[in-house]
Amino acid sequence: MLARALTAVSPALRGSLHVRQTCLPLSRVAQRKNVLAHASAASGGAEQDAVNVFLIDGKLVERPLGAVQRLSKPLQAAFVAAVYGALGLGTWAWCAHVGPAIAAAAPGLHAFFVGTRMAWLGALFTVVGVAHFTAHDVIKSMYPKQGSWGFWSLPGSASFHTNWTGVAEVLGGGALLLAWAVPSLLPKLPAGLLPLVNKCLFALTLAVTPANIYMCTHNAPGPSPALLPWPVHLWRLVMQVVLLSSFWDMAHP
Question: What is the pLDDT at residue 36?
Answer: 42
Q: How confident is the model at residue 185 (pLDDT cuts 50, 70, 90)?
A: confident
What is the reported pLDDT for 52? 87
In the prediction, which pLDDT does 250 show? 96
Helix extents (H) in the chain:
2-9, 11-16, 26-42, 73-93, 99-105, 107-134, 136-140, 158-181, 193-207, 209-218, 230-251
Whether residue 206 has pLDDT greater than 70: yes
**Residue 187: its pLDDT value, please?**
86
Asked if the model's pLDDT at residue 38 lies above 50, the reply is no
| Measured CA distances, 143 to 19, 79, 86, 162 (Å) | 20, 17, 21, 8
- Which of 32-36, 101-105, 112-116, 160-164 is least confident? 32-36
Give mean pLDDT, residues 238-247: 98
With pLDDT > 90 as the criterion, what percentage of the chain qualifies?
A: 67
Rounded to two decimals, the pTM is: 0.79
Q: Are 146 and 152 in contact (CB under 8 A)?
A: yes
CA distance 20 to 97: 45
Q: From the CB of residue 219, how many other CB atoms can be counted at a distance below 10 Å? A: 24
- Say yes or no to pLDDT of 24 above 60: no
Domain ranges of the chain: 2-65, 69-251
**If pLDDT is split at 50, 70 and 90, which confidence band does 41 have?**
very low
CA distance 245 to 251: 10
Mean pLDDT confidence for 202-206: 98
Kindly state the average pLDDT of the residues 108-131.
96
Q: Is the pLDDT of residue 28 over 90?
A: no
Q: What is the pLDDT of residue 227?
A: 87
Residue 40 has what pLDDT? 39
Mean pLDDT value across the chain: 84
Q: Is the pLDDT of residue 146 over 80?
A: yes
